[in-house]
């Protein structure tokens, strides 16, 4: 299959050998699980349980709220101990509403959702509904509700479901192991999603540094038509959906558009496995595979983890972390986020927990920009990071927006390659957040203005109606008086003649 080049990109030290040959192992069931109501993009879920309730594994604890949201299910059986604010697994450390579930040790399943016997005879809406009921989100890290993405088939003419097995972030091997160990489930889930999307073809793209995964998937794909497995170059950030789409199909996604606008929808390989389990087995998303790695981890592993497990328990299962650990992050080292505490929970978007030493963090004191242009050369989005950073430093966000800061995918390539160690991606993340906040404020102001104008217009219409009614009443009164006067006139004249 012909492949196409992508702009820029880098080749960091991948260090996947720490866990790439470690088979997935199950984490012993924790005594307590902590389940935030927002483990996804969109609105937080609404609780359907109360403190003291006894629940079974797979039971709905919180329902999706609104068009973009995702349900939360019990990862084991037990009792609801509390529903309270707890620290979110995010650098902000802000609290968010969380359900505390004390395990009863039985791990007893609730009555499962009915399996869909023949998914390929089911309607697209039936598949989409099941995926929504199962609380499935993008497991590559974006956590966008998968059911919403499956609805794109009704809005776009789709030709390809592109399954993302690139896993280009250093250290992470959870997707690699899923593809090797559960290839049949991945391929089946992909075919089910393609059926729901109305996409006639499935392409599974895997970076060339995962040859065993490619072999496993090809063996399964050979059993079914219209599924192709392709190796793509090892180049960060190959896993970004726009870049993977361009590399595999040659189609460039326009700025501020979706890959669906060029006929392609991208889903993660672990998401495909979750769809298989929801549709074929009636099981919701209650666990995920997490890579625990880094120089600070005693025994790096790939672990199937119940959602809501504390990060500290995960690290303890891997023998703990050394004193040399400089930073613990969720995700990969390029786009991952530092954790505010080890007491935060593993959530649906947690692909990795990395304990990094000083030599692994690439942290140095920054110095002035030398205008070398490396950030421009290596930017995979074709942007000019040096100019965007200059505008942002000087609080000229409008100018940064004009030259494309909102098209930045926050891959961190510019920061990684910068010889002055300037944290460029931090500037861009700040700017995107600030621009989004200003845009929300602008829309709020415009909405308020529209409401005020509509209110004033309504008052004016009411006042006008009152004036017209008063004028009409006055005119009617005057007409009645005139008519009465006209009737009285002949009588007076008749009396005078007599």
Domain boundaries, the chain: 366-475
Residue 85 in contact with residue 98, Cβ under 8 Å? yes
The half-sphere exposure of 170 on its side-chain side, counting CA atoms within 13 A, is 21
Residue 330 phi/psi, 5-degree rounding, is: -100, 125
Binding residues: 369, 372, 375, 379, 408, 411, 414, 418
Residue 287 phi/psi, 5-degree rounding, is: -155, 170
The confidence score (pLDDT) of residue 410 equals 93
The confidence score (pLDDT) of residue 156 equals 93
Residue 89 in contact with residue 339, Cβ under 8 Å? yes
Binding residues for [4Fe-4S] cluster: 369, 372, 375, 379, 408, 411, 414, 418
Helix (H) or strand (E) holding 350: none
Q: How many residues does the chain have?
A: 498
Question: Measured between alpha carbons, how far is 440 from 391 in angstroms, rounded to an integer?
Answer: 21
The confidence score (pLDDT) of residue 1 equals 85
Q: pLDDT per position in the chain (498 positions), as tens?
A: 899 999 999 999 999 999 999 999 999 999 999 999 999 989 999 999 999 999 999 999 999 998 899 999 999 999 999 999 998 887 767 889 999 999 999 999 999 899 998 999 999 999 999 999 999 999 998 899 999 999 998 899 999 999 999 999 999 999 999 999 999 999 999 999 999 999 999 999 999 999 999 999 999 999 998 999 999 999 999 999 999 999 999 999 998 899 999 999 999 999 999 999 999 999 999 999 999 999 999 999 999 999 999 999 999 999 999 999 999 999 999 999 899 899 999 999 999 999 999 999 878 889 999 999 999 999 999 999 999 999 999 999 999 999 999 999 999 999 999 999 999 999 999 998 898 888 888 889 999 999 999 999 999 999 999 999 999 998 888 888 888 888 877 654 444 444
The confidence score (pLDDT) of residue 491 equals 53
The confidence score (pLDDT) of residue 496 equals 44
Residue 270 in contact with residue 121, Cβ under 8 Å? no
Residue 97 in contact with residue 83, Cβ under 8 Å? yes
Coil vs helix vs strand at 12:
coil
């Amino acid at each position: 299959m012909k492949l196409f080049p992508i702009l820029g990109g880098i080749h960091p030290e991948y260090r996947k050998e720490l866990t790439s040959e470690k088979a997935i192992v199950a984490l012993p069931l924790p005594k307590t699980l902590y389940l935030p109501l927002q483990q996804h993009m969109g609105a937080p879920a609404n609780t359907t349980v109360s403190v003291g309730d006894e629940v079974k594994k797979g039971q709905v604890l919180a329902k999706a709220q609104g068009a973009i949201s995702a349900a939360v299910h019990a990862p084991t059986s037990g009792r609801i101990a509390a529903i309270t604010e707890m620290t979110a697994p995010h650098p902000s450390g802000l609290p968010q509403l969380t359900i505390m579930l004390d395990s009863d040790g039985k791990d007893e399943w609730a009555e499962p959702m009915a399996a869909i016997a023949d998914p390929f005879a089911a309607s697209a809406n039936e598949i989409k509904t099941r995926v929504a009921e199962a609380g499935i989100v993008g497991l590559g890290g974006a956590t966008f509700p998968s059911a919403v993405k499956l609805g794109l088939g009704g809005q776009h003419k789709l030709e390809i479901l592109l399954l993302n097995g690139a896993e280009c972030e250093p250290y992470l091997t959870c997707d690699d192991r899923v593809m090797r160990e559960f290839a049949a489930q991945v391929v089946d889930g992909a075919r089910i999603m393609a059926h729901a999307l109305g996409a006639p073809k499935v392409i599974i793209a895997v970076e060339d540094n995962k040859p065993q995964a490619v072999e496993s998937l090809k063996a399964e794909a050979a059993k079914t038509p219209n599924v192709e497995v392709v190796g793509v170059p090892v180049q960060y950030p190959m896993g970004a959906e726009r870049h993977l789409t361009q590399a595999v199909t040659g189609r460039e996604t326009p700025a501020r558009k979706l890959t669906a606008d060029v006929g392609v929808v991208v889903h993660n390989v672990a998401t495909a496995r979750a769809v298989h389990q929801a549709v074929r087995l009636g099981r919701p998303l209650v666990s995920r595979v997490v890579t625990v790695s880094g120089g600070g981890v005693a025994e790096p592993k790939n672990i199937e983890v119940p959602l809501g497990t504390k990060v500290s328990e995960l690290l303890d299962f891997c023998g703990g972390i050394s004193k040399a650990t400089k930073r613990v992050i969720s995700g990969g080292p390029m786009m991952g986020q530092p954790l505010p505490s080890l007491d935060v929970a593993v959530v649906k978007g947690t692909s990795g927990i990395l304990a990094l030493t000083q030599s692994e963090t690439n942290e140095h004191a920054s110095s002035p920009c030398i205008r070398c242009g490396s950030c421009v050369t290596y930017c995979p989005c074709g942007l000019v990071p040096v100019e965007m950073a200059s505008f942002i430093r000087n609080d000229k966000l409008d100018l940064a927006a004009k030259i494309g800061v909102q098209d930045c995918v926050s891959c961190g390539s510019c920061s990684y390659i910068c010889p002055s160690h300037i944290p460029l991606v931090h500037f861009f993340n700040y700017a995107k957040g600030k621009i989004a906040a200003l845009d929300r404020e602008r829309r709020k102001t415009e909405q308020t203005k529209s409401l005020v104008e509509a209110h004033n217009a309504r008052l004016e219409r009411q006042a006008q109606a009152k004036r017209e009614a008063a004028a009409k009443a006055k005119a009617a009164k005057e007409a009645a008086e005139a008519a009465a006067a006209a009737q009285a006139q002949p009588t007076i004249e008749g009396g005078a003649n007599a």
